[in-house]
């Protein structure tokens, strides 16, 4: 069998509301031209309508050509729990590795193209390789900032991750009856939503309690530190990233 190229990217690193979504897309190297012909680009360079249209086409082609898609959803509860003793960078290393593991088969030769989340792109690639163990030592890894703009497979992964995160945010907005916006601290809709959700005691489960804007809003309403997450608490949250899907 030929060489497969796997692009990996995330959506939702910075938001204070909702999940972080990581996508790994694995395709035969010779199929790269298909993504180019679809107009794949960094998801941030595309309109919502264009992203969704390309996403639909990628899913359809994946089914017909056997492309593999690995998605990891880390919700706000899981992110807060991880950050009790870890960092956002280490969480993304684990999430990238888990997404890659979903789309790799031992019989295949593959190269990884990572949109690095660490300020040190080379270190990020090394950490992902180390987390993959033997799987990581058997492949070529290219880890760069803005890889989603340079590599078409990573760009496609960024589109899939972004569309899935947007769908998750729309679902949460409907569930809560509040327009959550993008979830980013600078989004006016999200600013209002954070204030509303911080009025609850305990704070709403979809808030990332480790984010400074959430901590400030909670303190302003309650005049006490925001409560930490507890493993096995009322939400029945998980303690391992492998279970966060």
Question: Is 80 exceeded by the pLDDT of residue 8?
Answer: yes
What mean pLDDT comes out for the span 100-124? 91
List the domains of the chain with CATH numbers. Answer: 3-170 (3.30.420.10)
Question: Do the bridges between strand 20-28 and strand 140-144 make them parallel or antiparallel, or are there none, so unpaired?
Answer: unpaired
Indicate the pLDDT class of residue 203, thresholds 50, 70 and 90.
very high
What mean pLDDT comes out for the span 88-111? 91
CB 112 within 8 A of CB 6: yes
Give pTM, 2 decimals: 0.92
Question: Is 80 exceeded by the pLDDT of residue 236?
Answer: no
Residue in 41, 53, 4 with CA at minimum distance from that of residue 152: 41
More confident residue, 231 or 159: 159
Query: pLDDT, tens digit, for every residue of 40-49?
Result: 998 999 999 9
Question: Is 60 exceeded by the pLDDT of residue 243?
Answer: no
What mean pLDDT comes out for the span 48-55? 96
Indicate the pLDDT class of residue 229, thresholds 50, 70 and 90.
confident
CA–CA gap between residue 181 and residue 65 (Å, rounded): 35
Question: Is 80 exceeded by the pLDDT of residue 10?
Answer: yes
What mean pLDDT comes out for the span 15-37? 97
Question: Is 60 exceeded by the pLDDT of residue 237?
Answer: no
Torsion over CA: 51, 57, 63, 65 (sign) = negative
What mean pLDDT comes out for the span 231-245? 44
Task: Please report the pLDDT score of residue 175 as a whole number.
Answer: 97
CB 115 within 8 A of CB 154: yes
Task: Please report the pLDDT score of residue 99 as a whole number.
Answer: 97
Task: Please report the pLDDT score of residue 134 as a whole number.
Answer: 87
Task: Please report the pLDDT score of residue 1 as a whole number.
Answer: 58
Question: Is 80 exceeded by the pLDDT of residue 130?
Answer: yes
Task: Please report the pLDDT score of residue 161 as a whole number.
Answer: 98
Tokens of 105: 């088969």
Please give the share of the chain, as a percent, with pLDDT higher than 90.
84
Question: Is 60 exceeded by the pLDDT of residue 240?
Answer: no
What mean pLDDT comes out for the span 217-226? 95
CA–CA gap between residue 58 and residue 62 (Å, rounded): 6
Task: Please report the pLDDT score of residue 106 as a whole number.
Answer: 61
């Amino acid at each position: 069998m030929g060489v497969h190229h796997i692009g990996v990217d995330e959506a939702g690193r910075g938001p204070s509301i909702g999940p972080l979504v990581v996508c790994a897309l694995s395709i035969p190297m010779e199929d790269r031209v298909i993504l180019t012909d679809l107009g794949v680009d960094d998801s941030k360079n595309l309109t919502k309508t264009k992203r969704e249209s390309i996403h639909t086409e990628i899913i359809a082609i994946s089914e017909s050509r056997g492309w593999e898609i690995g998605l990891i959803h880390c919700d706000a509860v899981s992110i807060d729990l991880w950050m009790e003793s870890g960092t956002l960078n280490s969480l993304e290393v684990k999430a990238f590795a888990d997404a890659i593991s979903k789309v790799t088969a031992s019989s295949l030769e593959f190269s990884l193209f990572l949109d690095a989340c660490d300020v040190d792109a080379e270190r990020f690639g090394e950490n992902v390789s180390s987390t993959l163990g033997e799987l990581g030592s058997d492949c070529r890894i290219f880890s760069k900032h803005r890889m989603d703009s340079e590599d078409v497979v990573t760009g496609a992964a960024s589109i899939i991750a972004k569309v899935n995160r947007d769908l998750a945010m729309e679902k949460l907005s409907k569930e809560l009856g509040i327009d959550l916006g993008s979830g980013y601290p600078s989004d006016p809709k999200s600013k209002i939503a954070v204030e509303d959700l911080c009025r609850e005691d305990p704070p709403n489960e979809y808030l990332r309690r480790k984010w400074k804007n959430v901590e400030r809003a909670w303190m302003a309403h309650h005049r006490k530190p925001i409560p930490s997450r507890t493993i096995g608490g009322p939400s029945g949250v998980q303690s391992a990233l492998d279970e966060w899907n």
